[in-house]
Amino acid sequence: MAADTRARIVTAAGELFRRQGYAATGLAQIATASGAKIGSIYHFFAGKEALATEVIATSGAAYGAYVLGILADGPTDPAEALAYTFNRAADDLVACDYADACPIATLAAEVASTNDPLRQATSEVFGTWLDGLTLWCTQIVDPPAASDLATTILATLEGAFILCRARRDPEPLRAAGRSLATLASSTHETRAS
């Protein structure tokens, strides 16, 4: 029962932080959304910052695994896998009416200059994502260049999410996927020759 309450609190906080940001989300709102009492939040977390740190870690790990899973389970050609993954991201964004893109991007942008512990937590998640993407990118480029390509993919994905949400149009994600697929294809062909 306690684990269920804790999970409901983390899930509700994650959705609220993702949709409206850290500062605009209060503990009373999280309690209402989770069906828990405020006392329960304090039972599991030292306060809002500790809860946000947990949300960043858990949702970040889940989303990183989700994206890497799509890359791994999609087409075997790395270029096609990139286009497929960006198209899936576009479809997912449309399905949620542009409300739920990256689970930590809203927090990361908001706290980058105002809350160093939360900035560090988002940085750690992005670092973990980059580690996984770097390993995946060794299919396309030599290991020394894989980190740069992984950074390009992640930065492109995050930027495309922002454009899609602002425009309420999935095309920036689809265009980014096509461009990255072209880049990956030409890089992979050059490496193979």
Residue 88: the pLDDT is 96
Rounded Cα gap, residues 130 and 137, in angstroms: 10
Q: What is the pLDDT of residue 32?
A: 96
Burial of 63 (0-12, 13-18, 19+ CB in 10 A): middle
Which residues are CB-neighbours of 118 under 8 A, at least 6 positions away? 22, 49, 52, 53, 56, 107, 111
Domain edges within the chain: 53-192
Both tokens of 59, joined, read 């949702």
Residue 1: the pLDDT is 61
Give 139's DSSP letter.
T
pLDDT digits over 76-98, tens only? 999 999 999 999 999 999 999 99
**Positions of the chain with pLDDT under 70:** 1, 188-193
Class of domain 53-192: mainly alpha
pLDDT value of residue 6 = 95
Q: What is the model's pLDDT at position 164?
A: 96
